[in-house]
Amino acid sequence: MVYLIASIAGIAGLLFGFDEGVIAGALHLLRAEFGISPLAEGIMTATVPLGAVGGALIGGWLARPVGRRKLLLGAAFLFVVGALLSALAPSLILVCVARLLLGLAIGVAAMIAPLYISETAPARIRGMLVSIYQLAITLGILGAYLVGYTFSDSWRAMFAAGIVPGAALLIGIAILSDTPRWLVLRGRREEARAVIAKTQSLPIDDRLVTAELSAIEAAAQVDLAQGSWRDLFGPVARPALIVGMGLFLLQQLSGINAVIYFAPTVFRLSGFDSTSTQMLATVGIGVVNVLVTVLAMGLIDRIGRRKLLFIGFAGAALSLGLIAAAAATGSPDLQILALIGLVLYVASFAISIGPLPWVMMSEIFPLHLRGPGMSAASITNWVFNFIVVLTFPVLVADIGLAGVFSIYALVCVAGVVFTARLVPETSGISLEDIEKHLKGGKPFSALARSVKAA
Ligand code: BGC
């Protein structure tokens, strides 16, 4: 059962990454076939994050009345339909519509899959499962790059490949039940008991089942007492909201998705002439992203969050600065410098700026505001993802790669300042202590110091 849940998490993450990354390989073919302007290119690419903003809103709104399972089922269905439609689309408008549907599916899945895991998985392996989800996103991106490399002359085949993981998710969810937490919230106690019994290893111990059911009922009470969105802006939660939304704003404006969605374009602008070399270098970026994410999984709880964020933002600012300087001066070594710069940039991102906003969004909000707080943070993620992807082609046409990467580098410098002034150190501190500190009204960034002093 646990393996089944882990695979669902994995497939949802894979789809997230796949639908982000697949445009990288398809773009030059779409450009050639439809002769699109930079603005149209931005709009077409940005339909995925735009749909995801809608999906995240819908997911947050319907998770309780409709249930986690039915929403995931709907998302899986949309993944398949969206992949099919985008593969068959006779015009650019229909490609956009199909990508909007895929975006909706990602938005829903990216919000509901982690919720499904955290509500169904036994506590001792929950952290590991959330990490699997993270890793799966990067594997999905790499998978999309490999598909782009393999079917290098057919964007339709690239888009069609998305049907496979979509169908796998559909089948996986179809045989799962809803989460015990949701069943309890709907007053379906006996069904909840049956689901808990299924997740335990044999022989089933009735006392353990009852104990877990009671714990879930207690947690569900908190869920029912969830504060409103307005409370998020109140004096207690506001510092957490600023950190949660701020980290995602910085994560996205650091330009990561200009690289993830447009990597071959970036390589072309850096002097890589042949499409197959551009795609090969892109695959290399995907591999670095996966490997460093594995490394990050081992480091996050050992090195503090703040230290890791400093390393990430500083590393990203320097590597983006290197590429921008090489491009601005027309350096004869632009190719190699861009390659080194991009590898360092993606590594700095994957070790820190990538995973940490996700980790921190699940720990900083007071319990009764965790639901709305996490929604606000992930909507911020998609809104700024959309802005970066929409504007990249136009900005490149107007101010060149050097100009755009300089802007992203400056954002990373702002990330260092933001971390220094506002981000608390949460590693090794209990969620209860974080909440107590917020209620005490002292600066959020003084968290670790005041918990130690107490
Ligand atoms: C970000 C995505 C990004 C991915 C790259 C995630 O943490 O939220 O927008 O594409 O990392 O690995």
pTM score of the predicted model: 0.89
What residue has token string 């990249």? 392
Ligand 1, residue 20: give the atom nearest the CA.
Answer: 10
pLDDT of residue 427: 83
CA distance 226 to 254: 33
Q: Compute the distance from residue 138 Cα to the ligand 1 centre, in Å.
A: 8
Whether residue 239 has pLDDT greater than 70 = yes
- Residue partners of 384: CB distance under 8 A and separation at least 6: 248, 249, 251, 252, 253
Q: Compute the distance from residue 354 Cα to the ligand 1 centre, in Å.
A: 6
The alpha-helical segments, DSSP class H, found in 175-274 are 180-185, 189-199, 206-224, 229-232, 238-253, 256-269
Ligand 1, residue 357: give the atom nearest the CA.
Answer: 7
Provide the pLDDT confidence category of residue 128 given band limits of 50, 70 and 90: low
Exposed/middle/buried for residue 323 (C-beta within 10 Å: 0-12, 13-18, 19+):
buried
Question: 337 vs 254, 306, 320, 323, CA distance in Å?
Answer: 19, 29, 11, 6
Please indicate whether residue 257, judged by its CB atom, sits closer than 6 Å to ligand 1: yes
**Atom 6 of ligand 1 has which residue's CA nearest to it?**
354
pLDDT of residue 203: 67
CA distance 80 to 451: 49
Tens digits of residue pLDDT in 135-191: 899 999 999 999 999 999 999 999 999 999 999 888 888 887 777 787 888 888 888
Q: Compute the distance from residue 377 Cα to the ligand 1 centre, in Å.
A: 14
Q: Compute the distance from residue 183 Cα to the ligand 1 centre, in Å.
A: 32
Tens digits of residue pLDDT in 400-439: 999 999 999 999 999 999 999 999 998 888 878 888 999 8
For the chain, give every domain's residue range.
2-176+225-453
pLDDT of residue 253: 98
pLDDT of residue 121: 65
CA distance 138 to 27: 20
**Atom 4 of ligand 1 has which residue's CA nearest to it?**
354
Q: Which of 300, 297, 414, 287 shows the shortest CA–CA distance to 347?
A: 287
296 close to 355: Cβ distance less than 8 angstroms: yes
What residue has token string 């639901």? 371
- Buried b / exposed e over 273-282, threshold 16 CB at 10 Å, is eebeebbebb
**Atom 1 of ligand 1 has which residue's CA nearest to it?**
354
Q: What's the chain's average pLDDT? A: 89
- Give the dihedral of Cα atoms 116, 119, 125, 126; nearest 10 deg: 70
Whether residue 6 has pLDDT greater than 80 = no
Look at the domain 2-176+225-453 and name its fold. Answer: Growth Hormone; Chain: A; (1.20.1250)
Whether residue 41 has pLDDT greater than 80 = yes
**Atom 12 of ligand 1 has which residue's CA nearest to it?**
138
End-to-end alpha carbon distance in the chain:
42
Phi-psi region of 419 (alpha: psi -120 to 50; beta: other; left: phi over 0): alpha
- Write out the two tokens for 191: 């069904």
- Give the dihedral of Cα atoms 51, 131, 362, 166; nearest 10 deg: 20
The alpha-helical segments, DSSP class H, found in 238-369 are 238-253, 256-269, 275-299, 305-328, 334-348, 355-361
